[in-house]
Structure 1
């Protein structure tokens, strides 16, 4: 029996002689979209910290600077803790950065389908550009914080939108998206540091970064080869009219055959958008994917924000600040490698990764408490391993959601499941605050 068409089957990729070229273009396009979507978020954090430090040293408001600066100042005379702590955990920064993204991912999947993808991309690019401009020209602390919030909005809305967008293309673009988001952390932080080290001011560096939102727009509108079924600039009325096209109608008919009960009421018409009740039904089925992903990110960011700054080795060739920067670099390297590995290895049982990451977090928690690790090289290995687990959980979760979810529900499922990592990160931030306080009081 002939298999029904799927949203992931791009008709353009079936053309002889051009299919491979189209597939490569789309893979590169999603790699750039992943890079640009997370790039502003990564760079904005580093830039905001630099500018806030300058503003607060001018205003002599040291308490706020301590809350928003993630670097370490070794030998702080006011710090009597054996862990050389910052007065406030870096988890405070994490919460400020993730909460706007969490809010968007909680509510946007229920209404975002009314906004065409082209408009979403322009909105995300505008938010990212605005964040760069706000922080680069900020004259007060609140302007810098607002810039970080705008970057978070751009990143959160972009992630759920681009994950949903992948269902209209070959599943191979998920590998491109995952690899691009992994590269954003490493390339973003590295490029910002290099430009600053070269003598450029944070303001000039941020203005140079305005090329990133522009690249996002170019990647979507000029590089991607979008299939005819993709709704881009349609209004609500024309969208319903477009759904009767041959490819889209074949998809909806096949979904109707698989789930005849979903079309028995007027509320759940197979040719219309998902009803609210149907979306809640889909969400209940997603918990088997979302829960393991959330656990991985909870334990991962508990390590990053609650423990990493406390894993400090005295009297070695690296300062405390340098050790922390290497931790972050190796973590981002692990994420990049594993998010780019989907073509080589696929892991269906993501819960195994959540168990391994939990064990990793428990081990490092005891390492912080009892200080039994003899060398920083062991910590480097555990941090790299942590990044590998986190990146693998991300790409495999969305790969199998795309593969196993019914055609009619796939677009919404990809957007709704993106709440898993943000929810885990938020809980990690809340847990990390009291843990940091406890260790710093010793």
Structure 2
């Protein structure tokens, strides 16, 4: 009997084994690794540590605030789109005139602002899964981009500078969403996804109502945007102070074992306490996951395409003359009404879950047709019915977002969850981007029709 070899085997068998998932073909198969490294701290498992109630509360509140701050600038730019493209950006000139009795078309569609507000976000979301940047550096960039967006848009001396400010807002929002959604997977004991979604919904309502409210009180759009500089400051405080950083032990494996390969006990080359819960995924593994995500991403993209076509191509053309609101003011309050619906539905996932995601794009397309006909025919008797339609539109959009990411969070294992959440965020950006280009074309067609009617 080889006593030396037998002792080695006994020692090897004494170690606890942990499971990781390896993607093979079209499914996840299990491989086994052994925690044999001497660097492994005694008694520390390769899972996130439990958090107490106070830490859980901090994390939930923190992700709500992060969702609010991350989407705030994006919402502000869309709420200010009609003003940015108008001549009255430096002053508050919302006083009603005789011209308010006729629909007015800006020479450029607010869809142009939407394009500038979403394409950088889409590009960053596409690159985010492969960017070799840690969470701290990413958040620093998010904060810097946010500050630049408010400053450049507020202090612009030409329209192209305003557009550059909108681009920075988009970059901040896109990088922030991909970063924070992925980061949320590290807080397994907290309801971070639902609170994040609720916070993004809150950004829509608070952002749109703060912009509409401050301008309604007499502040110019320029001054209103400068006031918003407090938002990136709040984001930084929340991420580095409010959140309770997760302490996660993660095995770094090179290479990942094949499913049918026998364990030698030497697969782990290091063991360290870091803040990344996921073992690195290969390009092939990521492509397999992306195929599985299409069932979530396509319905979400269609919902966002329809609703942003309504918001950026049709809102500015749906006008009710002879009431207490000017044309610019009606546009702003449509945005507030829409965001109220988004907030309510994004905050409802703990009580109302929608499994049939495919029905949401169908309902949103019906909304698009209703508002399109109103822009052409003015068939609605008053603004209240229009506000009801817009509110319902927001409910559908918020429900699509929160239920999509909630289902992804629950379906995928810890190892791949962060990647899946970040990758799926491409869907809404893609739908909005297509909507932005379509909005410009639709705006031009409808404005030609409206101008011919007025002759």
Deviations 1:376-417 (CA, angstroms, capped at 9, x unpaired): 222111110000000011011001111102322211111110
Greater strand content:
2
Question: For the structure 1 residues 211 and 140, does the alpha-carbon distance in structure 2 shift closer, same or farther, using more than 3 Å as the test?
Answer: same
Matches within 5 A, 1:46-195: 83-109=103-129, 111-112=130-131, 114-169=132-187, 170=189, 172-195=191-214
Does the CA-based 8 Å contact 1:37-1:216 persist in structure 2? yes
Unpaired runs of 5+ residues, structure 1, are 14-18, 59-68, 230-241
Aligned partner of 1:237 in structure 2 is none
How far the C-alpha of 1:72 sits from its partner, in A, is: 11
Does the CA-based 8 Å contact 1:182-1:336 persist in structure 2? yes
Aligned partner of 1:385 in structure 2 is 392
Does the CA-based 8 Å contact 1:40-1:151 persist in structure 2? yes
Aligned partner of 2:243 in structure 1 is 224
Find out whether 1:321 has 2:328 as its counterpart: yes
Find out whether 1:332 has 2:339 as its counterpart: yes
Q: CA RMSD in A?
A: 3.7
Q: How many residue pairs align between the two structures?
A: 396
Question: For the structure 1 residues 398 and 72, does the alpha-carbon distance in structure 2 shift closer, same or farther, using more than 3 Å as the test?
Answer: farther
Find out whether 1:439 has 2:442 as its counterpart: no
Q: Using the alignment, how far apart are the partners of 1:438 and 1:20 within structure 2?
A: 56
Deviations 1:71-124 (CA, angstroms, capped at 9, x unpaired): 9997659x9xx7543333221221121111111122222x23x21111111110
Q: Using the alignment, how far apart are the partners of 2:444 and 2:85 within structure 1?
A: 23
How far the C-alpha of 1:425 sits from its partner, in A, is: 0.8
| Other structure's SS at 2:50 match | helix
Deviations 1:247-277 (CA, angstroms, capped at 9, x unpaired): xx9xx9xx98xx948999xxxx998411111
Q: Using the alignment, how far apart are the partners of 1:263 and 1:402 within structure 2?
A: 32
TM-score by length of structure 1 reads: 0.79
Q: Using the alignment, how far apart are the partners of 2:119 and 2:175 within structure 1?
A: 13
Does the CA-based 8 Å contact 2:338-2:394 persist in structure 1? yes
Unpaired runs of 5+ residues, structure 2, are 1-17, 22-44, 264-268, 270-276, 450-455
Q: Using the alignment, how far apart are the partners of 2:211 and 2:288 within structure 1?
A: 44
Find out whether 1:411 has 2:418 as its counterpart: yes
Question: For the structure 1 residues 370 and 142, does the alpha-carbon distance in structure 2 shift closer, same or farther, using more than 3 Å as the test?
Answer: closer
Greater helix content:
1
Q: Using the alignment, how far apart are the partners of 1:118 and 1:34 within structure 2?
A: 17
Does the CA-based 8 Å contact 2:78-2:114 persist in structure 1? no
How far the C-alpha of 1:208 sits from its partner, in A, is: 3.5
How far the C-alpha of 1:315 sits from its partner, in A, is: 3.3
Say which of 1, 23, 27 aligns to 2:60: 27
Say which of 340, 346, 349 aligns to 1:342: 349
| Other structure's SS at 2:370 match | helix
Stretch of structure 1 that moved more, 146-155 or 387-396: 146-155
Question: For the structure 1 residues 353 and 326, does the alpha-carbon distance in structure 2 shift closer, same or farther, using more than 3 Å as the test?
Answer: same
Does the CA-based 8 Å contact 1:164-1:412 persist in structure 2? yes
Q: Using the alignment, how far apart are the partners of 1:399 and 1:303 within structure 2?
A: 26
